[in-house]
Amino acid sequence: MNVSAASSTTRKASLRWLVLLPFSAAWAFVPGLSPTWTLFAVSMSIFAVLKCESTLHFLATTRVRPTARELIAWLLLWVGLDPAAFFIRRAATVPRAGEWIWGASKLLLGLGLLFIAAPRCLGLNELLAGWVAMTGLIFALHFGAFHVLALAWRRAGRDVVPIMRAPILSMSLSEFWSRRWNLAFRDFAHMFVFRPLARRRRIRLADWGAFAFSGLVHELAISVPAGAGYGLPLAYFLLQGCGVWLERRLPLAKRPGWGWCYALCFTAPAAWWLFHPAFVRRLILPLIGG
């Protein structure tokens, strides 16, 4: 497929997922569905839309034709959103033992925080317990289980990478969001939001569009199931956009040590906007009996 045809396909795909994505919030109107199950249903619906859109775009713009078995494995057994890495098979690589140990360690750490540390914090402060539980959940899934899953697919010959790539080592805010934090979501945003907006040298608009898209998706996944806190996740990601814009204009923020501090200052303190108290109380605390 030539470049113009591929561009046309991308534009049509963008309209399709933009129409479908808001329907993920429909689960909030299902009678009798608990906030926790609403969170799960909305999150899975969002993921399904992004996954299917990535797949359809890949099939429309390449000559690769995966088998039915490969498609099922991609859709149901891998969390990434880069079909080229999964379907264009490479030589099988055997992950080192240390990689398996590291992935399993993060999984166990997350489970320990979720089921041991967090319940013990309930007597001290509910929000503290909720944050400990949420940190444990993220470590167990995104950092641990998904890392082990990536290693398994790499061993099977798929050129996939963990979706979390040591974000604590980010030397800039741009590096944090573009190369280290949730690469699955980053892959989709880059293909379907950033690249279309970046045409005709609209790089600044593309940056803001990608962060606004992230904010709106997190509104669906966080504020809608919680039934409160609307606008806070969007504000968080717009703040990140401001941070990236400012970072490019501050020489000091580009230095390795200062860049690390700069990224930390923008991502960590305002995280309570993203995972706001209503979300923690209504969706996380029930997981630990709070």
SS (H, E, C) 68-134: HHHHHHHHHHCCCCCHHHHHCCCCCCCCCHHHHHHHHHHHHHHHHHHHHHHHHHCCCCHHHHHHHHH
Candidates 68, 65, 54; CA nearest to 88 is 65
The answer on 178 and 153 residing in a single domain is no
Domain that holds residue 148: 92-157
In tens, the pLDDT along 237-259 reads 999 999 999 998 887 766 778 99
Q: Are residues 123 and 266 in the same domain?
A: no
Q: Give yes or no: residues 219 and 274 share one domain.
A: yes
Domain termination residue (choose one: 125, 140, 157): 157
Q: How far apart are CA 194 and CA 32, in angstroms?
A: 38
Q: What does DSSP assign to residue 25?
A: G
Instruction: Examine the domain organization and report whether 135 and 274 are in the same domain.
Output: no
Clarify whether residues 114 and 184 are in a common domain. Answer: no
Question: Same structural domain for residues 171 and 84?
Answer: yes
* Secondary structure letter of residue 163 according to DSSP: S
- Which three-class secondary structure state does DSSP give residue 136? helix
Contact predicate 174/249, CB 8 Å: no
> What's the CA gap between 42 and 22, in Å, rounded?
10
176 and 150 part of one domain: no
Tokens of 12: 């049509």
Would you give the distance in Å from CA 173 to the centre of its chain? Answer: 16
Specify the DSSP element, H or E, that contains 43: helix 35-61
Residue range 171-207, pLDDT digits in tens: 999 999 999 999 999 999 999 999 888 876 677 889 9
Q: Closest by alpha carbon to 260, among 194, 187, 180, 189? A: 180
Q: How many domains does the chain have?
A: 2
Neighbours of 120 (CB within 10 A): 11
DSSP 216-240: HHHIIIIIHHHT--TTHHHHHHHHH
From first to last of the 290 residues of the chain, give the pLDDT tens digit: 444 444 454 545 557 898 999 999 999 999 999 999 999 999 999 999 999 999 999 999 999 999 999 999 999 999 999 999 999 877 667 889 999 999 999 999 999 999 999 999 999 999 999 999 999 999 999 999 999 999 999 999 999 999 999 999 999 999 999 999 999 999 999 999 998 888 766 778 899 999 999 999 999 999 999 999 999 999 999 999 999 999 988 877 667 789 999 999 999 999 999 999 999 999 999 999 87
Same domain, 96 and 82: no
Regarding whether 127 and 61 lie in a shared domain, the answer is no
